Structure 1
């Protein structure tokens, strides 16, 4: 029995190597101390920052990059768009911190950091009344629930799972049952078969999106921005990208079990590395670099931009180009390794 287990490469991979891969991934995430600097804009004079002792200022700049700004409205837009972590202003004795709740890890770091700055400034007042108070203001509607920021990533993951698994498993199943061979001999063009499969995947993805958003709005208080319909072209482009990955996995795999395993190997790590389940803020640079190469990260971020941040068409052009380019490359490779017969 033990010898049979060792000889079964697929079982060995899923039982030992796949869990070890996640151990390495999470081990590096959880032990990484080099969180990236918070990019903050300072509008006007802020005494709590300007009057800091040189050594305290130097220590602060290890974790925050402070840039002077003159246009507060523009800086606040950059916070909404995710380009800045916060905007800092001073109103009398109040230090006002404007931040975005879209990335909850960054939001917590911003609030904690500036609470520490205010506490240090008040401690330096040496027994007098507190010199400053901290006021935090999120740039989005404060009535919004955490579901706003969770939904885009989970929807992206659901689309990736459905398109990849559906294409991979169906392709292998059709090959093993001889259906592909019969379709090849039938008086219909191959392009018609492919387009039919693409149409089914697109309809399933649109149905997923409707159910997902309907449940989130009706049961969990999701509030969609005015530009939320831009999710539809993103879903279409994302479906094509992951359908092509599924076709590639199905073209390579010889059995349904192998297709499922390969699809799992691709989609599950990608979901973690693309921020579908938690923010990658604070992840090491090498992991961030890998994440930016993955189509799911671009899909997730674009849906967050249009569903939560209220950005317009300009927010989806680049992600859609990346997704469609990914679909074209994977489809080309799949066409080269595709087999009609088992």
Structure 2
């Protein structure tokens, strides 16, 4: 353990002497939060997703959901008919949902009043938009089927209030972005440099084992990411008054994500020819992952093809897990993503642990 801590200290001093490394670990995430927070904290104009549980599943209920889609401000997404809607809302961190009762078609055809229930947080601007759109769609639907007689009537049910803003959803993404870039780019370059300059052969003359060397790098980057996260969290609270919180589950996700991407950086650095190639390979893998894994915007706002691609990217589970625990308090969902991250990290760690050899490198 003493050898590991000694190597952590030596590598940390070497890392912090690099102005570029310190900039991207500490200053760059703060710049992103300040920049995007200032741009988007005023809100935006995009479709509001509304999750619909259609218990009727009939031609008339399908016509009503089509009327919702036709409002141009709502994006209808289906909820399975099996689960209880409030439980589904809680487990999937949903802001607005609509429940269409099983007797919807029967009452519409009988020209009887039927209630559709809108669930949401009234403190959210998206809730007001959703309610206005549902009411408008109901009015249009009533005019079509009953000559404007109020057959379909929207009712409301409150869910737990969450006064969220853009910055609250953005902070976990920036943390995930930082967890990706620093270990991935840093370790890719370090391993490539050690390999090309024969530093691994010098390490063979020390008592430090290859396993201890690998673990020391993971410890250093984990410490660095936690410090960076604390600074980002302070900026988000002090400058924008955000409500996202750092939870124990978030800390575990940050450490697991650091373990995962440090291991990936080791793999890339051990198999590239030189540091220039290492930088190119790290950029080719890292930059697409930044934008496709939901660091800057939620994955479910992407086209279906990109959503499918995002689901195979390891950063997606770090980002979604951080949002689940830091913003929505959904630790059950975050625990699932933590498990996925740990499994991927272990697989990625085994490769350099087996491949690295002081003598051959």
TM-score by length of 1: 0.70
Q: Following superposition of structure 1 onto structure 2, how do residues 143-292 of structure 1 map, counting pairs within 5 Å?
A: 143-224=163-244, 228-281=247-300, 283-292=302-311
Q: Mind listing any 5+ residue stretches in structure 1 that lack a counterpart?
A: 1-34
Q: Deviations over 1:272-318 (max 9, x none)?
A: 22111222325454433332222111111111111111123x33332
Note closer, same or farther for the CA distance 1:100–1:261 as it changes in structure 2 (3 Å cut).
farther
Determine helix, strand or coil for the equivalent of 1:309: coil
1:162 offset after TM fit, Å? 1.0
Give the equivalent residue in structure 2 for 1:334. Answer: 352
CA distance in 2, matches of 1:142, 1:329: 37
CA distance in 2, matches of 1:116, 1:339: 68
Contact 2:53/2:79 (<8 A) preserved: yes
1:146 offset after TM fit, Å? 1.7
Determine helix, strand or coil for the equivalent of 1:86: strand
CA distance in 1, matches of 2:155, 2:280: 50
1:167 offset after TM fit, Å? 0.9
Q: Following superposition of structure 1 onto structure 2, how do residues 103-118 of structure 1 map, counting pairs within 5 Å?
A: 114-118=134-138
CA distance in 1, matches of 2:289, 2:158: 30
1:178 offset after TM fit, Å? 3.4
CA distance in 1, matches of 2:351, 2:128: 43
Q: Say whether residues 1:298 and 2:317 are aligned partners.
A: yes
Give the equivalent residue in structure 2 for 1:7. Answer: none
Contact 2:97/2:120 (<8 A) preserved: yes
Q: Say whether residues 1:76 and 2:76 are aligned partners.
A: no
Q: 1:56 aligns with which of 58, 63, 71?
A: 63
Give the equivalent residue in structure 2 for 1:9. Answer: none
1:126 offset after TM fit, Å? 4.6
- Quote the RMSD (CA, aligned, Å): 4.1
Give the equivalent residue in structure 1 for 2:25. Answer: none
Q: Say whether residues 1:323 and 2:341 are aligned partners.
A: yes
Determine helix, strand or coil for the equivalent of 1:185: coil
Q: Deviations over 1:92-137 (max 9, x none)?
A: 9986522479x99x98996686255224135446577x77776777
Query: Bigger CA drift: 327-336 or 161-170?
Result: 327-336
Q: Mind listing any 5+ residue stretches in structure 2 that lack a counterpart?
A: 1-46, 70-75, 102-112
Q: Deviations over 1:122-157 (max 9, x none)?
A: 5446577x7777677774535322212122122111
CA distance in 1, matches of 2:100, 2:78: 15
CA distance in 2, matches of 1:213, 1:177: 39
